[in-house]
Amino acid sequence: MKVVVIGNGMVGYKFCEKLIAKSLPGLELTVFGEEMFPAYDRVHLSEYFAGKTLADLSMTEFSWYADNDVKLELGNPIVRIDRTQKKIHSFSGAETAYDYLVMATGSAPFIPAIPGIDKEGVFAYRTLEDLHLIQRHAPLSRKAIVIGGGLLGLEAAKAMLDLGITDTHVVEFAPRLMPRQLDHNASVILQQKLSALGITCHLNKNTIAVLGNESVRGIMFSDGSMLHADMLVISAGIKPRDELAKACELPVGHRGGIIVNDLMQTADPSIYAIGECALHNNMIYGLVAPGYDMADTVVAHLSGASKMFCGFDMSTKLKLIGIDVASFGDPFIGGEEAKTIVFEDSHNGIYKRINFTPDGKQLLGGILVGDASSYNMLQQVCRNQMTLPPDPMDLIIKPRQGSSMAGVDALPADALVCSCENVTKADLTDAMSAHGCETVDALKKCTKAGTGCGGCVPMVKDILLHTMKQQGRYIRNVICEHFQYSRQELFDLIRLKELKDFDAVLDTYGKGDGCEICRPVVSSLLASLWNEIVLKKENHTSQDTNDRFLANIQKGGTYSVVPRIPGGEITPDKLIVIGEVAKKYNLYTKITGGQRIDLFGAHVSDLPLMWEELIAAGFESGHAYGKALRTVKSCVGSTWCRFGLHDSVSYAIRIEERYRGLRAPHKIKSAVSGCIRECAEAQSKDFGIIATEKGWNLYVCGNGGSKPQHALLLASDLDSDTCIRYIDRFLMFYIRTADPLARTATWLNKMEGGIDYLRNVVVNDSLGICGQLEQEMQALVDSYQCEWKQVVDSPELRKRFNHFVNAPGEKDPNVQFETLRDQKKAAGW
Amino acid sequence: MNVIANSAVEWYFACHITDVPHNGGVCVKVEDTQIALFHFAHRDEWFASDNECPHRKQMAISRGMLGSHHGEPKVACPFHKKTFSLTDGRCLNSEEGLSIRTYPVKVEEGKVFINIAALNQPFTSTIQTDAYEDQTD
């Protein structure tokens, strides 16, 4: 059987993969691709700008085609289909005969016929080739417009941000963003979030002209207003690629798309069409999951099985620039057919809407913006027509602890968990019992669940944990294959036996030779317990590379150096020294978020020389490289500020100097604000202090970063010394009991009893350990030494700071820099 | 990559055993190539591999952390913690088709030698990445 596929996109490739898996005898499979690259993941295209390579995005290894006897012709578009002779003619001039032809030609960006659309600086956003062109133009551009506020348009806007264009505008014809997925209020919330990121949205705008001479200067709207920019990206929807089908007189829809039946057959029974080029029931499916289902349908038909494609759930969840956006079922249904509950929190940028039957029994659809953590569950409830709780509102108000596990339990066995790869809950539990899968990775390999868009991975994990628990299997929270202990257990054991180096710990309590997971954990424990110098001979190779070189490794293999600037206060003389060092060693300088200065691009052999100069001027290590105290940020406080209640700078300096160098399960950040205006943003820190009329309020376990969380009030109106005692206890308790790489916020979230329990331990001494915690902290404070100075003073340690062992002092010739705004930057990878 | 046209010198003198940290690595310059050399003291073994991590083409394997995976010795690149077998150089994290070359090491009278014969043999760490880079250059 000769099967020929036109198109090597995601769906075309998936068709091949599924067909090969059937191992049909006598199959000859040929694939023609118009692009130069083998099939790649278009869904995650914008990640290409965020650093992913073609290899990361590729659907399979290049060798897959040859290994499976699939003939792949790239860069060779088909020019004609001869239906009577059952042959296709390719651009290279060759003819290929087929028994069955599968058209997976996909779609092209819809380019509206606006005058001037062919100017320089106007791009489509669809293929890797488009991305290369955009990438080449971006450095010349300051302001970009994306036409199209749909899913792909917003992806394109994100790509603009990733390329460093901070002034990006999105223009949408409809009165709201993502009109197919969101209602008006959801769009408003999304717009607010986007504008905080530097993306301005213009809705209800009909673009009628592209301005500029040769290159684009802006666009004009039908209302006469204009918007200027030096780059224009069109992402206004798709147009099915049906030109080959039209030319051989296969019927197509009026607005494009090759008409197919439920078997994905075109009017010619030996020609199929799948993916975005196919028009099924008057509908083009612009998502990958239905495309895969179509591919499945054709594979089933060719291998003699029966399967029909009967439409597809268009639920989507995506993370746009870090913002969750999801819609499922029928997001808009309302009126008499449905009741609706809306939860709107414009402060935190969260919008949730669910629609259910008037009797309140069944979920029909909904929208989530800002927090889509319950998407998987809601979609399952909707798709499987599960009975709703007595008050459907419980579905969208913060899921209580443990409720997601109960939810997994309630799922029927045939619930579809991964819609990209068609994996049900039963497939997962079978893989666990029949193939012994015990990790998410093993499940991914075995069932392919979570390998498409990845959105179902949290649910796969929940099902895994839940099933293991059900089977009575004890899930031990162990560090890795070498240590069958939790971090907390190991902490106590190392203290008990007074072990001082990694090999001693490994030989006493572990097995094997250690690894990149347990080595840094043990190194951190040793540092928290004994506070010996981290570069001590036996231990330095078990430090993460940053701790090993006391600096932060950056692209290209050079390091960045951050001297400590306690509380962010610095004299003009010291500022000058930093500038001089940066100049001398040709470094890129940038102010950090923690009120200090980062010097980038230092060769490893220059590090001790730079430290020597910095130390001579009174600086010390800022521990920016360690899982350690980073900075104590401060506002200027009562010394200058007319609102300041206390001297927040002096207090911040006192705190930073007390805990400098303290090693912990993860980095620790702090801040002190001189009044309730909170200019130091103390409530986003691991511990934050805010001045009150009577003293200080102490907040703990806040976090910025990817999952921001406000710190919680631990105690109020404290005097300076008591506040520090509480911080001593709090930090030592965290260091003793947290999991590896758990920030204080995560640690608290997992703590049974939460902040009340923590307050009992730290303030009321419910465990009777506060005396000990304070003593341990004092010992660490007393034994502090600057690690940079230890290196500078030791010829033996200095020897380690060379790139080549057999050519000391010689720099890595592979390190390359480029220039950006009069400074250097690392060459891209 | 034409590193050493004349492969008469197969065993290249790298350094003295005391130059290499216990359970860690150093980078050895071999003409214009870089080789990572490791003294895995916990196993009492020596290993050598390419210094370049094929994932992002960074010269940093020698600064990586040593370990074992079910008994097989491995090194983790400091950039993104991709791990590679020190026995055959294959990537142990996933099936991305990445690999590094490994080289035999011998120690004689306190001196460490690396067998660099493999440097002259053609080698591609990943087909896709190379194919793509040719397209963009």
At A370-389, the pLDDT tens digits run 888 888 888 888 887 887 87
Q: Is the per-residue pLDDT at A424 higher than 80?
A: yes
A561 CA to centre of own chain = 26
Would you tell me which residues 99-118 of chain B have a C-beta closer than 8 angstroms to some C-beta of chain A?
Answer: none
Amino acid at A209: A
Residue A359 CB coordination number (10 Å): 8
Average pLDDT over residues A551-577: 96
Predicted local distance difference test score (pLDDT) of residue B9? 58
B16 CB within 8 Å of a chain A CB: no
Residues A227 and A245 in one domain: no
Residue B134 CB coordination number (10 Å): 8
C-beta separation of A173 from A206 below 8 A: yes
Q: Which residues of A182-207 are buried (b: 16+ CB within 10 A; e: fewer)?
A: bbebbbbbbbebbeeeebebbbebeb
Comparing C-alpha atoms, which of A342, A44, A346 is closest to residue A190?
A346
Average pLDDT over residues A580-609: 96
Report the percentage of chain A scoring pLDDT > 70.
Answer: 97
In angstroms, what CA-CA distances link A312 with A262, A274, A285, A420? 12, 13, 8, 11
Q: Tell me how many domains chain B contains.
A: 1
Structural domain contains residue B70:
yes
> Residue A686: which CATH number?
3.30.413.10
Q: Which residues of chain B does A805 touch, with a Cβ-Cβ cutoff of 8 Å?
A: 14-15, 19-20, 26-28, 37
Average pLDDT over residues B20-41: 94
pLDDT digits (tens, 9 = 90+) for B75-100: 999 998 889 999 999 988 765 678 99
User: From CA B52, how far away is CA B35, in angstroms rounded?
Assistant: 8
Residues A66 and A158 in one domain: no
Q: Which residues of A269-307 are buried (b: 16+ CB within 10 A; e: fewer)?
A: eebbbbbbbbbbeeebbbbbbbbbbbbbbbbbbbeeeee
Predicted local distance difference test score (pLDDT) of residue B104? 94
End-to-end CA separation in angstroms for chain A: 44
Q: What's the mean pLDDT when you consider all of chain A? A: 89
Give the structural domain span for B41.
Answer: 11-136
C-beta separation of B126 from B54 below 8 A: yes
> Residue B49: which CATH number?
2.102.10.10
Q: Which residues of chain A does B85 touch, with a Cβ-Cβ cutoff of 8 Å?
A: none
Report the percentage of chain B scoring pLDDT > 70.
Answer: 81
Is the CB of B24 less than 8 angstroms away from the CB of A519? Answer: no
Comparing C-alpha atoms, which of A675, A672, A695, A668 is closest to residue A683?
A672
* Torsional class of A798: left (φ above 0), alpha (ψ -120 to 50), beta (otherwise): alpha
Q: Which residues of chain B does A542 touch, with a Cβ-Cβ cutoff of 8 Å?
A: 23, 65
User: pLDDT class for A794, splitting at 50, 70, 90?
Assistant: very high
Predicted local distance difference test score (pLDDT) of residue A474? 60
> Residue A156: which CATH number?
3.50.50.60
Residues A46 and A175 in one domain: no
Predicted local distance difference test score (pLDDT) of residue A460? 85
B83 CB within 8 Å of a chain A CB: yes
Residues 6+ apart with CB under 8 A from A153: A125, A146, A147, A170, A172, A235, A236
Residue A310 CB coordination number (10 Å): 10
User: From CA A220, how far away is CA A227, in angstroms rounded?
Assistant: 7
Residues A268 and A188 in one domain: no
User: From CA A297, how far away is CA A18, in angstroms rounded?
Assistant: 10
Residues 6+ apart with CB under 8 A from B79: A553, B53, B55, B56, B58, B60
Helix, coil or strand: residue A249: coil
Residue B96 CB coordination number (10 Å): 17
In angstroms, what CA-CA distances link A394 with A116, A404, A456? 52, 12, 22
Rounded to a whole number of angstroms, the distance from the CA of B124 to the nearest CA of chain A is 13
Predicted local distance difference test score (pLDDT) of residue A473? 67
Residues A613 and A674 in one domain: yes
pLDDT digits (tens, 9 = 90+) for A209-247: 999 988 999 999 999 899 999 999 998 888 899 999 999
Is the CB of B28 less than 8 angstroms away from the CB of A813? Answer: no
Torsion, Cα A302 A308 A312 A318, to 10 degrees, reads -30
C-beta separation of A40 from A321 below 8 A: no
Residues A261 and A225 in one domain: no
Structural domain contains residue A800:
no
Structural domain contains residue B35:
yes
Report the percentage of chain A scoring pLDDT > 90.
Answer: 55
Residues A84 and A120 in one domain: no
pLDDT digits (tens, 9 = 90+) for B50-73: 999 988 889 999 999 999 999 999
Predicted local distance difference test score (pLDDT) of residue A390? 77
Predicted local distance difference test score (pLDDT) of residue A400? 43
Q: Is the per-residue pLDDT at A434 higher than 90?
A: no
Helix, coil or strand: residue B52: strand
Comparing C-alpha atoms, which of A637, A557, A570, A626 is closest to residue A597?
A570
Residues A95 and A9 in one domain: yes
Predicted local distance difference test score (pLDDT) of residue B125? 60
B14 CB within 8 Å of a chain A CB: yes
Predicted local distance difference test score (pLDDT) of residue B119? 82
Predicted local distance difference test score (pLDDT) of residue A359? 86
Structural domain contains residue A621:
yes
User: From CA A596, how far away is CA A586, in angstroms rounded?
Assistant: 19
Q: Choose the closest CB to A516 out of B27, B73, B81.
A: B81
Helix, coil or strand: residue A499: coil
C-beta separation of A298 from A332 below 8 A: no
Q: Choose the closest CB to A541 out of B23, B34, B79.
A: B23
Give alpha helix (H) positions in A585-687.
607-616, 648-659
Give the structural domain span for A289.
Answer: 2-108+240-302
Predicted local distance difference test score (pLDDT) of residue B2? 38
Higher pLDDT, A727 or A333: A727
Structural domain contains residue B3:
no
Residues A104 and A130 in one domain: no
Structural domain contains residue B95:
yes
Structural domain contains residue B23:
yes
Q: Choose the closest CB to A540 out of B21, B43, B96.
A: B21
User: From CA A813, how far away is CA B34, in angstroms rounded?
Assistant: 10
pLDDT digits (tens, 9 = 90+) for A730-771: 999 999 999 888 899 989 987 878 898 999 999 999 888 999
C-beta separation of A539 from A787 below 8 A: no
